[in-house]
Copies of this chain bind each other. A is one copy, B any other.
Amino acid sequence: MPPQGLEELARRATAASRRLAVASGAERDEALSLAAALLEEEAGTLVGANRGDLARAEAAGTPAGALDRLRLDERRVRQMAAGLRAVAALPDPVGEVVSGGLRPNGLVVERVRVPLGVVGVIYENRPNVTSDVAGLCVKAGNVAFLRGSAAALESNRAVVSLLRRALSKAGLPEDGVVLVEDTSHDTARRFVQLKGVIDCLVPRGGRDLVAMVEQHATVPYVIDGDGNCHVYVDRAADLEMARAILLNAKCSRPSVCNAAESLVVHREVAEAFLALAGPDLVEAGVELVGDERARAAFAGMEPATEEDFATEFLSLKLSVAVVDDLEGAISHVRRFSSGHSEAIVTSDLGAARRFVREVDAAAVLVNASTRFVDGGELGLGAEVGISTQKLHARGPMGLQALTSVKYVVYGEGQIRT
């Protein structure tokens, strides 16, 4: 694909979306299977293209973590292919009749699931995101209009080139996947203002990207935001269960959004629970910061600031607050929650019910680790991201989040009186 202006790319995406929207599920799945095979066949080409990106990033002094996210090796390419095959195997969301019925005047009213059209994705370094999100978009009958980062440009070009070949081989327009190769900030801003072209924008990246979208986007979007997730250990908690859940939520993968960042514990069990769980946390390398009562209950904790309680650390750091009661726990969580995932550990049914009702988050868990809040774990198959907003999609976003619903009305000449 030769470099082209954003308007020309937008025109191509729009044109292709009409064909994609009426492609059969078999055609879309075939495109994904062909893409998986091409990724495997051309793994060497992809790794080679990626090597160029890596070299430039290294020369620019990119830190090790970012370099790792940028890296494509044979194993990651195989994972990308497996991801495409897994998405192809999911049930087709398009055409589902969501609800329907017969009106008294004989009109048949159906709500039918349809593709959104053009899904814009603006994302950061990881080139595997390119095939992951393009696969989900195409599966749901959408055009994937992608704007990746400058650092991953060679890799993204190579991946997109294969995806387009696969679409073409499946008899679908290659513009079903379109990559914006101009990675300037100005173009990113124009991208999120392509009103009438992009039906839904999904920004995948850090806080700066989300802020840019919130400030400048004129197209509809779904935000995959922070996860400042809490585990509340209630007075009536099984403390051993609470220990296992907290360790899992905090330590199994601290860099992800569904990891716990804060422990809230009822004052009546604070000392006993911290005596049980504290040493394990410390041994796992967790840095603990706490309020006054937490520090009184467990030695070796630095003071937690307001800022600490509001922060998604994404690292082995945990803030600890002691509360007087369930009401205090709910207030604390409501104050600092980013609306992602919040857990309570309790054997008190009333406390569980109240926590579930009053905590306002995409997911509320009772006696389970926050780490389960993930499309795969909750049964969605694959996920586009985890929405922390309340409109359209909330929590793990599966294929449904990439669709809309259309009213279809069948009559026999009815007119409105």
A residues in contact (CB < 8 Å) with B = 18, 21-22, 101, 103, 107, 109, 114, 116-117, 195, 199-200, 214-215, 218, 220, 222, 238, 241, 244-245, 247-249, 252, 334, 352, 356-358, 360-369, 371-373, 377-379, 389-392, 394-396, 404-416
Residue of B nearest to A356 (CB): B408
Which B residues touch A392, using CB under 8 A?
391-392
Partner pick for A362 among B107, B199, B407, CB 8 A cutoff: B407
Indicate if the CB atoms of A364 and B408 lie closer than 8 Å: yes
Indicate if the CB atoms of B394 and A103 lie closer than 8 Å: no
User: What separation, in Å, do the CA atoms of A385 and B404 have in the docked complex?
Assistant: 17
Partner pick for A218 among B21, B215, B357, B413, CB 8 A cutoff: B215
Q: A22-B357, A103-B377, A238-B413 are in contact. Are A407 and B367 (CB under 8 A)?
A: no
Which B residues touch A372, using CB under 8 A?
107, 409, 411, 414, 416
Indicate if the CB atoms of A406 and B379 lie closer than 8 Å: no
Q: A244-B415, A371-B416, A410-B367 are in contact. Are A394 and B404 (CB under 8 A)?
A: yes
Which B residues touch A361, using CB under 8 A?
406
User: What separation, in Å, do the CA atoms of A117 and B371 have in the docked complex?
Assistant: 26
Residue of B nearest to A414 (CB): B368
User: What separation, in Å, do the CA atoms of A404 and B195 have in the docked complex?
Assistant: 25
A-B contact sample (8 more), CB < 8 A, given A18-B334, A21-B358, A367-B412: A21-B357, A103-B378, A114-B360, A116-B391, A117-B360, A352-B410, A369-B414, A372-B411
Indicate if the CB atoms of A415 and B248 lie closer than 8 Å: yes
Indicate if the CB atoms of B248 and A368 lie closer than 8 Å: no
Which B residues touch A22, using CB under 8 A?
357-358
Indicate if the CB atoms of B409 and A220 lie closer than 8 Å: no
A406 to chain B, nearest CB (A): 6
Partner pick for A368 among B357, B362, B366, B409, CB 8 A cutoff: B409
User: What separation, in Å, do the CA atoms of A367 and B199 have in the docked complex?
Assistant: 28
A373 to chain B, nearest CB (A): 7
Indicate if the CB atoms of A406 and B107 lie closer than 8 Å: no
User: What separation, in Å, do the CA atoms of A372 and B413 have in the docked complex?
Assistant: 12
Indicate if the CB atoms of B220 and A391 lie closer than 8 Å: yes
A295 to chain B, nearest CB (A): 27
Which B residues touch A391, using CB under 8 A?
116, 199-200, 220, 222, 391-392, 404
A199 to chain B, nearest CB (A): 5
Indicate if the CB atoms of B415 and A377 lie closer than 8 Å: no
User: What separation, in Å, do the CA atoms of A99 and B100 have in the docked complex?
Assistant: 17
User: What separation, in Å, do the CA atoms of A378 and B114 have in the docked complex?
Assistant: 19
Indicate if the CB atoms of A395 and B407 lie closer than 8 Å: yes
User: What separation, in Å, do the CA atoms of A362 and B391 have in the docked complex?
Assistant: 17
User: What separation, in Å, do the CA atoms of A117 and B337 have in the docked complex?
Assistant: 15
Q: A391-B404, A406-B364, A409-B364 are in contact. Are A252 and B416 (CB under 8 A)?
A: yes
